[in-house]
Chain A
């Protein structure tokens, strides 16, 4: 009765209903997220068959600990995102419902082709959401790229079927691993390339800059805090269950991820626009998560994704709220703006400190876990790169924090005269909601080990594949 299939079906049902009763879209949206949370709580874990045919004949859902954690994160962030986005979310209620259904499907499904379908659902929903930025060429760019990525993924999935005769995600690597390297190479490449577009990996993630960089209070958080972790989790699932890497693909992927991380942070470093900075920061962070997944270190990656999702959502809420209110997102225009919005400023600070990985916040725990985990692979240079890049990340986040807090000319003491005229960035209820997320982040930071214990179970559920680049790729 309490099947996890509700997680997909319920929002879908609501979406279908909401077309005709447009007035209640928003209500249906929130209702279905809340119900989803209840389902998440009630549904028993395990494999769920759809259509009455056991895999590989039918489609099944894999509702394990990993899926649970990711779903929980997504539902919660979705709830907050829609709540805070308010009127915009009302307009895009149906789309958001479908998006939610798609993401849930993506995270739950245990079938490669079904995953493709769900990815497409999510992509198309996200195209539509991205149009709310009002920058249609960017949406078009995203659409083209994501479609090409989708086709690649589809080809990859089909080739996997052609070679192995099965589409079941769970344990697929075992079958694929028996194939000769030359055969498994191309489908693996296609699958990874397909996902890479959505993951914003270096040469192919170019859409992200403008989609994130022009975001509003709806799109920013949805893209950075809902879609990014969702695709991250999917990628993790793929890495754990499907993808068989050989040294070349493994190191190419690793190289792409590291390039994304490093160059993304560098690009963020030079930005003078708050939203663009956050955009490149998101790109870079997704690169880091991919590094970890590629090295088969899901625990650290999950931790990182969660921290990023929470932190980025806050950052985007505050940033888009403020930049909409003051009609600019440039460093100069927003200088000292937090003097007017202390609470937002504090939440922004907490989020950025956590993102950078400053101690006492969750991000620190994530960073430490990541580095410690990478040590176990023996690739000591990667932590060096990560930590060196963290300096750059810290540098630009701090630059923003300093500018946003200090209404002052350089070389002078801060004074209230320099403060921009106060405007309402977010209303009271929105602020409370943002604070709630910040509180979650803060509390997680205070009890990192407890969070870690919960998550480590999830990571063990995810990982059936033991091989890593480090081992498979040889030293």
Chain B
């Protein structure tokens, strides 16, 4: 089920990317897209009644029904990468704002 949430967020993100011209909103849409992707990734390793893959006291690893840890590790990485891209995107957006006093790409038009 959780996949639906992921895919829905992905689609919402894409919709945002397709429609808005506002730079900040574009970045937000991108973040939504990434978030959706991350949720989707997490969902890939989902196990019914699974536990977080952290060993706790006195229970051997094979008795527990862990979810797949690898997608979680990947998501961790993906989040940070998304964060980096977002930070850079915002910086670029600010630069554009500094130049044109607007975040709206349709106002800026084609920069030559």
Contacts and interface: CB of A to CB of B under 8 A. Distances in A.
A185 B71 CA distance: 21
Interface in A149-197: 150-151, 154-155, 158-159, 161-162
Interface string A123-160: 11001100100011111100110011011001100110
Given A135-B111, A150-B81, A161-B44, A143 B88 contact: yes
Nearest to B89: A143
B44 A159 contact: yes
Given A136-B92, A159-B44, A162-B44, A144 B17 contact: yes
* Residue in A144, A151, A162 with the greatest tally of chain B CB atoms within 10 Å: A151
A197 B81 CA distance: 18
A127 B92 contact: yes
B99 interface: yes
A210 B105 CA distance: 15
B26 interface: yes
A159 B96 CA distance: 36
A121 to B, nearest CB: 9
Contact of B88 (A113, A124, A148, A162): A124
Contacts of B108: 137
B51 to A, nearest CB: 20
Given A148-B17, A151-B37, A139 B92 contact: yes
B95 A147 contact: no
A113 B96 contact: no
Contacts of A135: 111
B21 to A, nearest CB: 11
Contacts of B12: none
Contacts of B33: 148, 151
B88 A158 contact: no
A154 B41 CA distance: 9
B19 to A, nearest CB: 13
Contacts of A64: none
A446 interface: no
B88 to A, nearest CB: 6
Contact of B92 (A113, A131, A155, A161): A131
B88 A155 contact: no
A131 B93 CA distance: 12
B96 A143 contact: no
B74 interface: yes
Contacts of B84: 120, 124
A137 B41 CA distance: 31
Contacts of B40: 155, 158
A131 B17 contact: no
A159 B7 CA distance: 13
Contacts of A124: 84-85, 88
Given A144-B26, A161-B44, A154 B78 contact: yes
B68 to A, nearest CB: 9
Contacts of B93: 140
Given A113-B74, A120-B81, A151-B33, A136 B41 contact: no
A117 interface: yes
Contacts of B85: 120, 123-124, 143, 147, 150
A128 B71 contact: no
Contact of B77 (A117, A128, A162, A210): A117
Nearest to A144: B26
Nearest to A56: B70
A120 B85 CA distance: 9
A282 B74 CA distance: 34
B23 interface: yes
Given A147-B30, A158-B71, A158-B74, A140 B81 contact: no
A123 B70 CA distance: 24
A141 B18 CA distance: 12
Nearest to A155: B37
B105 A137 contact: yes
B70 A161 contact: yes
Interface string B84-110: 110011001101100100000100100
Identify the 7 closest CB pairs spanning chains A and B, nearest first.
Answer: A162-B44, A136-B95, A136-B96, A137-B111, A120-B81, A158-B41, A140-B92
Interface of A: 113, 116-117, 120, 123-124, 127-128, 131, 135-140, 143-144, 147-148, 150-151, 154-155, 158-159, 161-162, 210
Given A113-B74, A136-B96, 12 more contacts: A124-B88, A127-B92, A131-B95, A136-B92, A137-B96, A140-B93, A143-B85, A143-B88, A144-B26, A147-B30, A151-B37, A154-B41
